[in-house]
A and B are shown apart, each in its own frame.
Chain A
Amino acid sequence: MSRRGAAAVVLWLGFLLACLWVLAGARYTADLSAFLPRTPTEDQQLLIDQLRSGVASRLILLGIEGGDPQARIRASRELASRLRADRRFVYIANGETSTLERDRELLLAHRYLLSPAMTSERFTVEGLRAAIQQSVDLLAGSAGLVTKALLPRDPTGELLQLLAQLETGHRPAQTDGVWVSRDGRRALLLARTRAEGSDTDGQAEAVAAIREAFRQGSAPPLRLDLTGPGPFSVAARAAIKGQVLYLSGLGSLIIVLLLLGVYRSAQALVLGLLPVVSGALGGAAAVAAGFGVVHGVTLGFGAALIGEAVDYSIYLLVQSQSAPGLPGEPHGQRVPAFWPTIRIGVLTSVIGFASLLFSGFPGLAQLGLYAIAGLVTAALVTRFVLPSLLPRGLRVRDLTALGTWLQGGVAQAGRLRWLVLALVVAACAVLLSKRDQLWSRELAALSPVPPADQALDASLRADLGAPDVRYLVVVTRPGEEAALAASEQVADVLRRLQAEGLMEGFEGPSTYLPSQATQRRRLAGLPPEAELRLRFSEAIAGLPLRPERFEPFFADVARAREQAPLSPADVQGSFLGQALDALLWPAAGRWTALLPLRLAAGRDLDAPRLRTALADAGLPGVHVIDVKGESDRLYQGYLRQAIALSLAGLGGILVLLLVVTRSPARVLRILAPLVAAVAVVAAALALAGQPLTILHLVGMLLVVAVGSNYALFFDRGAAEGGIPPRVMASLLIAATTTLAGFGVLGLSSVPVLNAIGSTVGPGAILALTFSAVLAQHTAEGTCQGT
């Protein structure tokens, strides 16, 4: 081994150790983070905060099915009591002794501070009369039996007003005090985790805790369904992890068997895989070092890149192999003539993928970095390390025969160029006719959640009346009280718009705790006892009330007048506190208040009208967020950007080839088969009804990157008067390994992996075929020169 070779090997081993060290300390994730922008706008940041840590992100929906109704109800009670004792959950609800009931005393004692009906007119003679009249009317109604008992304390019905306000939205049906679905076939529970939605480890713990508690408290045939952002990201991570292992295992197995069949040498096989392993480690380590966190999708993509990285060692081992019967050449001379072609191929790929580095979509940037680092590492190891490691006299099977046979085929392939041309024209026609529905416009297209689980989630949500919140109003202010007060002003605007039918309803922090100012104003509206007695007797004139029964009312009002306004700290631990925590929280030195809007199913919000109304009210720093619309816009932004960047990458490749070949005609010949392959694959996907996503675009870029190697070999063959048989054989083997590596990804149920696999696998084979067919055009007559 030469000194230079030895130095390269040492460097390489050091590099591998460094990669392993970086990877050991890296974080792995499978959540939405790969799909969220790196440099968000203010609105986007609010959206991201919601997706990562908002109330909705911490909600888990539980359904108990199977068995008989009584068993389900018992299981629900058992599960709820176990989980309520678990610190990992902030809140567990299954309908039992409603939390409102438990906090009744708190509400009753502070009803004059909390009741929304406590306007300044409420305790005037007129206000009292109207409120009391209403309570008397209520006595005549069916609920009179219940409201009667409280009348001496609360003749104005403030507690009922308060309860009505807190009872926002729909409540599930009940059997024996436990929530059940409308058809009665499942018991329902709702849990809120302490861990944020983006904390997949925390969510995994919560999911495991729920499953364990269920297992302890019930037996088959009862079964538990879990949905919600947390369980979904846990399941997605498990699915991605499982599929990355399984698919990369399957891909590797196919490649190993193929190479073993080709090389007929285990030694050659192991050596040939060294650049691949180095590339995979290098790519992952680069992502870990560059991003701090490695996304599961990146690893899945990396598994497929094995099929591409192995090409370099195939070229080395197959092409540079000495002729049979002759003694092995010295290692120094094993640097083969194909290297310049590979160098251009690698550079082409690097330029193509470099464009992805500039993407605002971290998922794409990770893929770009992984591909660049992985391919460069594999190429460098093949070029500088592998030759030194090849033992003297290593024999791999001579593929000259296969190559010669292929040459014959290629010589005939030229006749097919009209077929290729027709295919490309047809593809372009398909793409043109479908250009409007070619690209998927929804972020959900990338969602790793299977449709069956999404349907289950939707049905649980409908049963629980916990709709997926789509529209939010978000207010930020420097302090907690300021945010609360501002949310109250927003609520005033919303209430007016609700009356105009813009929405069904909304809730906000002030639904649960009014601002200090509002509470003080309400207190100020309570008259001193003597005054109150006067007004009361005037107010009930003509009403059938017996005034002597209302002493408890005067006592309560007198007590209320001594009260200080409730602060968020005072309601901690109660239902009010839990609700408030979910809608008002500090972040980065400021306080954020959230007002989720409720709309009838299938209706869209007239957001401009809402924004105008908020602006007219003179409320700055208030944002209206359409969660779905905003994420779809985000995704469309990525898509537009990715298309622009890919075109830029293509432009870069064009410039590189022009510089290297100094011949526009040659550049055209190199790129034509690649563009044709991309067009045909895209048209096939469109015909299959598959809307193209951002990951299909990455796949197309990869087709160009991989295919450029093939095209360059054919181009060189044309320039040098024909492609040697072994080169021909190595190209076929290289394309086959690429098909194996990416083709298995096409089996994946994770949409992002499937998209890449189903694009690159067929694309690579098409690129090779088209290169052979179209190259013939110029190489005709010279090809047999070898």
Chain B
Amino acid sequence: MNPARRRWIPWPLAAVLGLGLWGAAAPGAAPWTLDQLMGTLAGTARGTAAFTETKYISLLEYPVQSSGELRFVPPARLEKRTLSPQPETLILDGDVLSVERPSQDSAQRPARPQVLRLQDYPEVAGMVESIRATLAGDRAALERVYRLSLEGGRERWSLMLTPLDGRVARIIERIRIEGSGGEVLRVEIIQRDGDRSVMDVRGVPR
């Protein structure tokens, strides 16, 4: 390329580009706002990641663990495939939430996927929606159900969701989503009765 042509880039544009580079190169130096977080998430979150979920339930003497894959297809499809201890597929697509479990009881019924309809349980739907809307960077959807507060900076942020009211609030105290940049690293759900679940996500859903 002819080096002389570089001169033709007007300086204001160069300044803008430079500013952008500077902003990206110096994380934490500027305040990290909700809108910035949502914008970053909206641009990046997609694809598959592994998860491990630990549920701390007072009925049980020790926590139960499950693991599997999360897959997010923007803008509206979230799949949570649990592989162990019991295979289960949860899909939130648009407004429809379904959970499929292979029938456990092979003596009674043949192995046919059993569809648990969760439409009747908005608390579960609200919980799954919190993850999907966060991945999608959909602030409006989150704010329909939760009060949002953001802590930390770009490098390490923590988004707190507090249910506004309704059936979700009857079950869920708050949800904390932690991440870095456009990555979601951990989702912690604290229930009203003190039980909680922690989901660690490895690898960017990209």
In the bound assembly, the distance between CA atoms of A499 and B110 in angstroms comes to 5
Give 1 or 0 for each of B34-66: 1 = CB within 8 Å of chain A CB.
Answer: 000000000000000000010101111110111
Q: Which of A142-150, A481-489, A638-646, A723-731 forms part of the interface with chain B?
A: A142-150
Subset of 21 A-B contacts with CB under 8 Å = A116-B109, A117-B105, A117-B108, A140-B66, A141-B66, A141-B101, A142-B88, A142-B90, A143-B99, A144-B57, A145-B124, A145-B171, A146-B123, A151-B59, A161-B105, A171-B117, A174-B95, A174-B119, A546-B58, A546-B60, A549-B59
Cross-chain contact of A141 among B58, B86, B128 (Cβ < 8 A):
B86
CA distance A644 to B86 in the complex (A): 65
Q: A262 contacts the other chain (Cβ, under 8 Å)? A: no
Task: Find residues 136-176 in chain A having any chain B CB closer than 8 Å to their own CB.
Answer: 136-146, 148, 151-152, 161, 164, 167, 171, 173-175
A628: CB under 8 A from chain B? Answer: no
Specify which chain A residues have a CB less than 8 angstroms from the CB of B64 in the assembled complex: 136, 139-140, 544
- Chain A residues in contact with chain B, CB under 8 A? 98, 101, 116-117, 119, 134, 136-146, 148, 151-152, 161, 164, 167, 171, 173-175, 177, 495, 498-499, 505, 544-546, 549
Instruction: Say yes or no for B85: interface residue by CB 8 A criterion.
Output: yes
Q: Which of B65, B82, B120, B195 contacts A98 (CB 8 A)?
A: B120
B109 interface neighbour in A119, A495, A549, Cβ under 8 Å: A495
Residue of B nearest to A134 (CB): B104
Q: Complex Cα distance A177/B104, Å?
A: 29
Residues facing A in B130-171 (CB within 8 A) are 171
Partner of A139, one of B55, B61, B62, B119: B55
Please, how many angstroms separate the alpha-carbon atoms of A227 and B36 in the complex? 53
Interface residue from A141, A143, A148, A498 paired with B57 (Cβ < 8 Å): A148
Pick the residue among B65, B108, B121 that contacts A140 (CB under 8 A).
B65
Q: Are B99 and A137 in contact (CB under 8 A)?
A: no
**A148–B108 alpha-carbon span in the complex (Å):** 24
Please name the 7 residue pairs, one residue from A and one from B, whose CB atoms are nearest each other, closest first: A499-B110, A544-B60, A137-B86, A140-B64, A140-B66, A544-B61, A142-B90
Contact (Cβ within 8 A) B66 A145 = no
With A146-B124, A173-B96 already in contact, 13 other A-B pairs whose C-beta atoms are closer than 8 Å: A98-B120, A117-B105, A136-B64, A137-B85, A141-B86, A142-B82, A142-B99, A161-B108, A164-B116, A174-B95, A505-B112, A544-B62, A546-B60
Closest chain B residue, CB of each to CB of A142:
B90
CA–CA, A174 to B98, complex, Å? 12
Q: What is the minimal beta-carbon distance from B86 to any residue of chain A, in angstroms? A: 4
Given the interface pairs A140-B86, A142-B124, A143-B124, the reply to whether A545 lies near B118 with Cβ below 8 Å is no
| Chain B residues in 8 Å Cβ range of A116 | 108-109
Contact B96 A545 (CB under 8 A): no
Tell me which residues across on chain B come within 8 A of A549, comparing CB atoms: 59
Partner among B58, B66, B114, B123 whose Cβ is within 8 Å of the Cβ of A164: B114
A181 CB to closest chain B CB, in angstroms? Answer: 13
Task: Tell me the nearest residue of chain B to A121, going by C-beta.
Answer: B107
Q: B195 contacts which of A148, A174, A499 (Cβ < 8 Å)?
A: A148
- A549 vs B195: C-alpha distance when bound (angstroms): 15
Nearest residue (CB) in B for A160 is B116
Give the number of chain B interface residues (Cβ < 8 Å): 43
Residue numbers in B under 8 Å from A161 (CB-CB): 105, 108
- Name B123's contact: one of A145, A171, A173, A175 (CB within 8 Å): A145
CB-defined contacts of B119 to chain A, threshold 8 Å: 174, 177
| A504 CB → nearest B CB, Å | 8
Q: Are A141 and B99 in contact (CB under 8 A)?
A: yes
CA distance A136 to B65 in the complex (A): 11
Residue on A nearest B127 in the bound complex, by CB: A145
B191 within 8 A of A: yes
- Any chain A CB within 8 A of the CB of B174? no
Query: Which A residues are CB-close (under 8 A) to B105?
Result: 117, 134, 161
**Nearest CB of B to A387, in Å:** 79
User: What's the minimum C-beta distance from B196 to chain A, rounded to whole angstroms?
Assistant: 11
A contact residues around B128 at 8 Å (CB) = 142
A144 near B109: Cβ-Cβ < 8 Å? no
Contact partner, B59, options A119, A137, A148, A505, Cβ 8 Å: A148
Do A139 and B57 touch across chains, with their CB atoms under 8 A apart? yes
Residue of A nearest to B128 (CB): A142
Q: How far does the alpha carbon of A325 sit from the alpha carbon of B114 in the complex, in Å?
A: 95
Q: What's the Cα separation between A152 and B193 when bound, in Å?
A: 15
Chain B residue at minimal CB-CB distance from A141 = B88
Q: Are A545 and B86 in contact (CB under 8 A)?
A: no
Cα A119 to Cα B115 in complex, Å, equals: 23
A-chain residues with CB within 8 Å of residue B96 when the two chains form the complex: 173
In Å, the complex CA distance between A134 and B103 comes to 11
Q: In the complex, what residues of A have CB within 8 A of residue B191's CB? A: 145
Cα A475 to Cα B123 in complex, Å, equals 44
Q: Which residues of B contact A148 (CB under 8 A)?
A: 57, 59, 195
CB of A183 to closest CB in B, whole Å: 11
- In Å, the complex CA distance between A119 and B110 comes to 16
- Most chain A CB within 10 A, of B65, B116, B117, B123, is at B116
Measured in the bound complex, the distance between the Cα atoms of B58 and A119 in whole Å is: 30
Contact B88 A139 (CB under 8 A): no
> What is the minimal beta-carbon distance from B114 to any residue of chain A, in angstroms?
6
Q: Which residue of A lies closest to B191 (CB)?
A: A145
Q: Do B88 and A167 touch (CB < 8 A)?
A: no
Residues of B within 8 A of A151 (CB): 59
**Contacts of B65 on A, CB cut-off 8 Å?**
140
Once the chains are docked, how many angstroms separate the CA of A173 from the CA of B80?
20
Chain A nearest CB from B78 CB (Å) reads: 11
In the complex, are the beta carbons of A545 and B99 less than 8 A apart? no
B173 to chain A, nearest CB (A): 13
Q: Tell me whether A143 and B118 are in contact (CB under 8 A).
A: yes
Candidate in A101, A148, A173 with the most chain B CB atoms within 10 angstroms = A148
- Closest-by-CB residue of A relative to B63 is A544
A143 touches B85 (CB 8 A): no
Q: Is the CB of B60 within 8 A of A136?
A: yes
Residues of A near B60 (CB, < 8 A) are 136, 139, 544-546
- Distance of A204 Cα from B158 Cα, bound (Å): 63
Nearest-neighbour CB distance to chain A for B90, whole angstroms, equals 5
Closest-CB distance, B130 to chain A (whole angstroms):
13
Please give, as numbers and ranges, the residues of chain B lying within 8 Å of A141 by CB-CB distance: 66, 82, 86, 88, 99, 101
Chain A contacts for B61, CB-based, 8 A: 544-546
Q: Which residue of B lies closest to A165 (CB)?
A: B109
Q: Which of the listed residues A142, A171, A175, A495 has the most CB atoms from chain B within 10 Å of its own CB? A: A142
Residues of chain A lying within 8 A (CB to CB) of residue B120: 98, 101
Complex alpha-carbon distance, A143 and B121, angstroms = 9
CA of A136 to CA of B96, assembled, Å: 26
Interface centre among A141, A161, A495, A505 (most CB of B within 10 A): A141
Instruction: Report the minimal beta-carbon distance from B194 to chain A, rounded to whole angstroms.
Output: 12
A146 near B82: Cβ-Cβ < 8 Å? no
Closest chain-B Cβ to A356's Cβ sits at a distance in Å of 51
Least distance between B98 CB and chain A CB atoms (Å): 10
Measured CB to CB, the closest approach of chain B to A70, in angstroms, equals 14
Within the complex, the shortest CB–CB distance from B89 to chain A, in Å, comes to: 9
How far is A177 from B167 in the complex, measured between Cα atoms in Å? 14
Tell me which residues across on chain A come within 8 A of B116, comparing CB atoms. 143, 164
**With A143-B124, A167-B117 as contacts: A175 and B95 at CB distance below 8 Å:** yes
| Residues of A contacting B123 in the complex (Cβ-Cβ under 8 angstroms) | 145-146
Chain A residues within an 8 Å CB radius of B80: 142
Would B95 and A140 count as touching, CB distance under 8 A? no
- Contacting residues, chain B, for A144 (C-beta < 8 A): 55, 57
Q: B114 — which chain A residues lie within 8 A by C-beta?
A: 164
Among residues of A, the one whose C-beta sits closest to the C-beta of B88 is A141
A495 and B59 alpha carbons, distance in the complex (Å): 36
CA–CA, A174 and B115, complex, Å: 15
A505–B64 Cα distance when bound, in Å, is 34
Chain A residues near B118: list those with CB within 8 A: 142-143, 146
- The interface residues of chain B lying within 8 Å CB-to-CB of A177 are 119
CB distance from A56 to the nearest CB of B (A): 24
Chain A residue nearest to B66 in the complex (CB)? A140
What distance in Å separates the Cβ of A35 from its nearest Cβ neighbour in chain B? Answer: 38
List residues of chain A with CB within 8 A of the CB of B59: 139, 148, 151-152, 545-546, 549
